[in-house]
Structures are given as structure tokens and as C-alpha cells.
Structure 1
Amino acid sequence: MIRDARRLEPDYQQKMKEISGEVPEWIVIPPMKGPYGDQIVERKSFQGNSWAISAKADKDKIIRILSMLNYLFTDEEAYPNFAYGIKGIHWDVVDGKIKNKTSELSKEMKEKYLWVDHYRMPRRGDDAEYFSFQNPKTAEAFKNNQQYVGPTLPGNLLTPDPSDTLDADRQRFINESLVKFMTGKEPLSSWDNFLQTLDTKFDMQKYKDSAIKQFKEAGIIK
């Protein structure tokens, strides 16, 4: 086991025992090394939340909404309140560190403050404190897993250029062509024609210019 450390939690262990009559011994093993020395099981990714703003919203309202979202996802001091809940009830500061107290709450208290779940949108998927592990082995497995999580790929930072009217068609052409090359429906001898079509028909240079500009703004390239 390397990824799903949550299966070590008491609730999951109890379900395993009810179904199979026993709890299996979980052995954590590192992933294999790739040809370039990489040893990862996954890469860090961005939050996958989706938002919708009414077309009736005027400019001032849109700015307020976007400001609120920016606050939700970037303010470090606000993060504990949105990720864990109410200070003093769901979490507190102990010895200078945040301690999640959710697991200590009674069923009645959890139901009373169930509404705080609506505000946990920006919590991070690798936040060990948020998960409040109840089994020491889970925390150990989670920590072990994190050392095999690679950085986010630079391409995830790119957003389509609104003025690039060929973006969707270009991406579709690339995906369909790659499938043809991989399945043998298109011979590799046609690769140069593929690249030429991207340049002439789909204005690949416009995409390259946009990507370079965004990478420079993000500090990935100079």
C-alpha cells in the first residue's frame, strides 16, 4: 500500500473485519523508480472546485465575488476557519500549532455544527491536520506517501487565451492525432506533417507565445 492510507482508520478496519472476518496486515512499500530516477505515485494538483456567476451580476458584484474567492483560497490566516471550522470548537492552537478537535466532538455537537461543512471548500487535500488521523499508522503512511508526490506539472498553470479562437479545435486535433499515432492508424512517418498542420492550420505559434508569456509571469522561465 502506498496511496490510500485512510484504509488504516478504525472505521474502515471494522468494515473489513465485518466483511472478511479479519483485518489484513497493511505493508507500505515505495513505488518503483522510473528510467530517469523519478519515484512518484502521483503529482500535486490544483483544487477542482467549479464556480458559476449569474449573467445578471453587474461589474461591482462580480468583483466582490472574485475578491471573496481570492480571500477563501489565498489568505493563510483565514485558512483554519474555512478548513477546520470554529476555533475553540473544531480546532484550537496548542503549543503554537493548530490541533483539530473534530474527532473529540459528540454526535450531537457534530450535528449542531454540520453547517460548517459548507465552508470547507478551500481545505487542502494534503492537509494531515484536517483529516485528524485517529490511527498513528495512518499518519505514518500519509507522511510516507507525501515524499512520493511529485510537483505540479507546469502545464497546469496555463489558462487558454480568450482571443485564441482555435484553442478548442487545436486541442481536439492534437488528442485525436496522438491516439492515431499510438494505435498505429497513423504511421510515425507522418509526424512532420502533423507538426506542419499544427503550425499552418491551427496557428500553433499563437499558443506557444501565450504559454511562454504565462510561464514567464509565473517565474518558471526567464
Structure 2
Amino acid sequence: MKRKTMKRFVVVLLVISMLAIAGCGSKSTNTEPGNHNVGEPVKIEIMANNYGTNPPQNDFVKKALDEALDTDITLTLGSADYATQLGTRIASGDFPDMFMLGSEELRKYSKMGVLLDMTPYMDQLSGYKEMVDADTIKLGLIDGKQYSLPKPIARKPAGILWIRKDWLDTLGLKVPTTTDELLKVLKAFTENDPDGNKKKDTYGFTGNDLTAFNALFGAYGLTNGGAQFISRDGKAINVLDQPEMKDALELIKQYISSGVVDPDVMSNTVSQLFEKASQGKAGVIYTDWTNIMKDDKVAIWKNANPQADWIALNPVAGPTGVAYDGHSDIGAPSEMFAISKNVEKDPEKLNKIIEMLNYVSTGEGAQLVQFGIKDTHFTETDGKITITDLGQQETNYTFLYQFTGRPNLEYLKVKFPNQVQYIEETFRREFIEALDGFIVPPDGFNKADSDRYITEEFIKFIYNKRPISEYNDFLKTLDSTFNYKLYKESAFEQLAKLGYRQ
């Protein structure tokens, strides 16, 4: 009997010991790489938009992260229809552990109870807070709870006007500085055979969708209607209500009716835009520097025409001297990631995700996801990073692992040394400050439907499918049918609390 009692006692002690060890493990908040329980790697699924880029089969970033963190990271990548793909996963109850989302999804999924409130864990995210400033982090709050982790805001959009300087020289024209001068140049590019092939096969201007005309809206201090609230002299205004919006639409209609705009401008993809530019089908384009001045892009258009000389065009001034290339939403994070509430049930995985977010934010982890493997893809001498030839070839996908962002200007200048002048050119310019990212649409207002209607009617106005004399009727329909008045009232109230009064 004594032997049996002793055996039971020993077994009980072993069980208690094992439970105590497991309990200590589940409460661990140590997020330094390497300081975690030894065992199987922690599986983490992360869903994000790939923006048309996929990791190579030999994914050296995943391998390095997994080795440093004792993880097994799986990237589930969506495409242009990413929001729908994410919605399908959420609706099925098959949640990724961590996923990229936008402001609309943040509000929607937080109300559904899908997202983990990270507020209790923010003190553990020291690396993340080194990368992202406090004001930007607040953009992930819903009702005072940290439901998402925003990346740093890319405050300077890259879209500007580019012009064929060699065509200007051929036709004896000066670089245009106003909207009137630009229209004259575009007419010459369309009608006066700037490429000298004796054919009328060129257009003055091309772009893709309404963003193509950002600089023309900017010549009136306005946006293209995508962003609807802007800061002007420290006050919040709605661009749709401004009388000069009719003038901006009239100007764009004049450009289109003059025959100088690519007929496919509204349907062009970015790749089609570049194809037309590189093949000499247009002499002015509105696009990101990465779509025209990266080394591979330059090689393509130089190969097509060695005389081609694309240069950045300063924003053209409107009738009152106002000139902007476009707008930058100062209230919208570039991207943000949220963690599934289900992860809370797995403390080891949650700790590992926190460890990962800190790791990719600073030191060797940040260098890995920005530049690749040290001494293979980049070298570092006295703090200066230089990308190797292999780095230029193999690191085009590493941004997929930049879950907490990057210091954008510094990163771009290192990553693209041959494009520094264009990067700095973009960052030095002033853009209209849009405020839409600060605004939470009220219940009873469907922003997607409203935005769609605005875009559709703007296209009708500039293509003369609807007279601009009916612009006020358009506003009335927006208020009555789409409840836009409710949205404006709520928006101005929210912006006033941030110091932007009407």
C-alpha cells in the first residue's frame, strides 16, 4: 500500500511540475529573438496584397526570418481584388493569423469582433514603436482600442507629370509652366509629328483613370474627387462644394475635346501607360517615377528610341497661379496589419508575432526585409548601406515582409541610387493635404456607393456626356440619394475635433 501511495505521489508531483512549466511558457512576454521555448517552429499565416509581386521559390527572407525567430511563416498573397479575397476568408471563419487591411475593413471587422485589441500588448511592441510615430499608431484605433498596427504614412505621393524634352526641342517649344501653355504643347505633340515619322500617330497626353488629371485639378487647388476633404489655410473644406471645381472640370473637358488626350486614358492600366510612353505614343504622362525612371524602365524606352529624354515637369499653374501635382492623405496610413482575435487563444503564437513585428522594425531584421542578406545583397561600411548587383536583381520582393513599414526616403535612396534625383524631386514638392483618412463614415452612409457615383459623374462631365451646367443637380442627387449631407456633417464634426474647422 505504501509503495502504491508513493507512486501516486510521484505521478502527481510530475503532473504539477509539467503544468507549472507549461503555465510559465504561456505567460511569457519575452520577445527577443531566440528566447522562446524549444520545440516545433511556430506556424504563422500572414495574408497581404502582393501588388503583382510574388516571392521566389528560394525565398531567402522567409528562410532568414524563420531561422532567427524559430517560426514557419506562410505568406498568403492576394491580388488587385485583395479586399474581396480577405472578405471571403473572414466570412468563412478561416482567419489568417495576421492580415493587411484598409480603413474600411478596419472599422467593419472590429465591429464584427474579428480583430484582436492590441492595446494590452503595446508596451511589448518597442521595436514597432521605434519605426512608427505615435500619431500614426493612433490611426489604428477604433473607439480607443488598438485594432490595427499602421505602417508609417507615405506622406509624399510619387505621381507627377513627365514630358519628352526631346520632342520639345524638335518642335522648338519651351517647357510649359501653366495649364494654357501645356495645352498648346499637347496640341503640338499631337498634330506636328514630334517623332518625325511622317505619321499622325501620337497623342499629347496619357495616364490611367481620373488620376491622370490630378495636376489639372491641382491647378485649382483641388483633388480629382477621390479625396473629398482637404486642408486649405488650416481649415477643412469639401472639394465638391468649391465653385472652382466646375472650372477644373471645364478645363479637363477642353483638353479632351481638343483631341490631345489618349482615348484610352480611363481604361489604361499602369503597364499599358508605360507601354505607350516607351513606344513614343504620347509626349506627356502622369505617373510614379518607378513606372518611368527605374533602370529597367529606362532601358526599355531608351532601346525603343535612344533619343528619348523624359524629364520631370513642374506642376502647371492654373489661372490664379495655384499649382499642385496632386494630393497626399495625411490621415491615412500607407497600410496596416491586424491580428486575428483567435490568436489570443494561442499565447505562444501571439508572443511570436510580437517578436516578429519588433524584429523586422529595427536592426538586422529591418535590414533583412528592406535590403536582403548582409554581404550578399548589400554591404555596410561606417553605417552606409550599398546594394550589390545581386541585391538589385533579387530583392524586388522583400517589401512583402515589411510588416511595420520602412523609413521611406532613406530606403528609396539606398535601394535606387540611380534614381535619387527623381526621389528627392518628388519628396521636395508640396502636395494638397487631404483629410479623408481621419474620417469615419457614419452609420447610414455607404461611402463606396457615393464614391462610385462621384467618379461616374465626373467622367460624364469631362467627356461631355453630361453638361457641367448640371453640376449643382449632381450635388443635390449626391445629398438626396446617397445621403452625402450626413457624411459631410459628420466629417466636419470629426475634423473640427482635430483642429480643422470650416
Query: CA offsets, 1:152-184, max 9 Å, x none?
Result: 3223433323x2255455445555555566645
Give the gaps of 5 or more residues in structure 2.
Answer: 1-161, 164-287
Aligned counterpart, 1:144 = 425
Aligned to 1:221: 501
Q: Tell me if the contact between 1:199 and 1:205 (Cα under 8 Å) persists in the aligned partners.
A: yes
Which one-letter code corresponds to 1:153 in the other structure?
A: A
| Alpha carbons of structure 1 residues 31 and 170: separation in structure 2 relative to 1, 3 Å | closer
Give 1:58 deviation, angstroms: 3.7
Decide which of 33, 42, 67 is 2:326's aligned counterpart.
Answer: 42
Amino acid across the alignment from 1:152: E
Deviations 1:23-58 (A, max 9, x none): 64454442322233233323335566486876xx44
C-alpha distance in structure 2 between counterparts of 1:221 and 1:28, whole Å: 35
Aligned to 1:188: 469
**Partner SS for 2:433:** coil
Q: Which residue of 1 aligns with 2:385?
A: 100
Q: RMSD of the alignment, in Å?
A: 4.9
Aligned partners of 1:38, 1:144: CA distance in 2, in Å?
19
SS state of the match for residue 491, structure 2?
A: helix
Kept after mapping to 1: 8 A contact 2:445/2:486: no
Give the conservation status (yes or no) of the 8 Å contact 1:85–1:91. no
How much identity, in percent, do the aligned residues show?
Answer: 19
- Check the 8 A contact 1:32/1:39 in 2, yes or no: yes
More strand by share: 2
Structure 1: which 5+ residue stretches go unaligned? none
Structure 1 Cα separation of the partners of residues 449 and 437 of structure 2: 19
Seen in structure 2, the aligned counterparts of structure 1 residues 11 and 147 have a Cα distance that, compared at 3 Å, is: same
Are the structure 2 counterparts of residues 122 and 173 from structure 1 closer, same or farther at C-alpha, using a change threshold of 3 Å? same
Q: Partner of 1:159 in structure 2?
A: 440
Q: In the aligned structure 2, how far is the partner of 1:110 from the partner of 1:5?
A: 16
**Residues 17-96 of structure 1 correspond to what in structure 2 (within 5 A)?**
18-20=303-305, 22=306, 24-45=308-329, 46=332, 49=335, 57-58=341-342, 60=344, 81=366, 84-85=370-371, 90=378, 94=382
Q: Partners in 1 of 2:408 and 2:339 — Cα distance? A: 28
Q: Is the 1:81–1:87 Cα contact (8 Å) retained in structure 2?
A: no
Indicate yes or no: 2:403 matched with 1:129: no
Q: CA deviation at 1:4?
A: 2.5
Cα distance per residue 1:71-102 (max 9 Å; x no partner):
78xx9868x817625796557584xxx6433x
Code of the residue aligned with 1:129 in structure 2: it is Y
1:84–1:130: 8 Å Cα contact kept in structure 2?
Answer: no
Q: In terms of Rg, which structure is larger?
A: 2
* Cα separation, 1, equivalents of 2:326 and 2:490: 27
Deviation at 1:119, TM superposition (A): 1.5
1:120 matched to 2:406? The reply is: no
Q: What is the CA-CA distance between 1:150 and the residue it aligns to? A: 0.5
Tell me: CA distance 1:169–1:30, structure 2 relative to 1, closer, same or farther (3 Å): closer
CA distance in structure 2 between the aligned counterparts of 1:17 and 1:134, rounded to whole angstroms: 19
- Separation in structure 2 between the aligned mates of residue 153 and residue 121 of structure 1, nearest angstrom: 25
Question: What code does the residue aligned with 2:435 have?
Answer: P
Counterpart-to-counterpart distance in 2, 1:177 and 1:6: 29
| Counterpart in the other structure of 1:208 | 488
CA contact (8 A) 1:198 1:204 kept: yes
Per-residue deviation, 1:145 = 3.2
Aligned-partner Cα distance in 2 for 1:16–1:187: 39
The separation in 2 between residues aligned to 1:114 and 1:29, in whole angstroms, is: 27
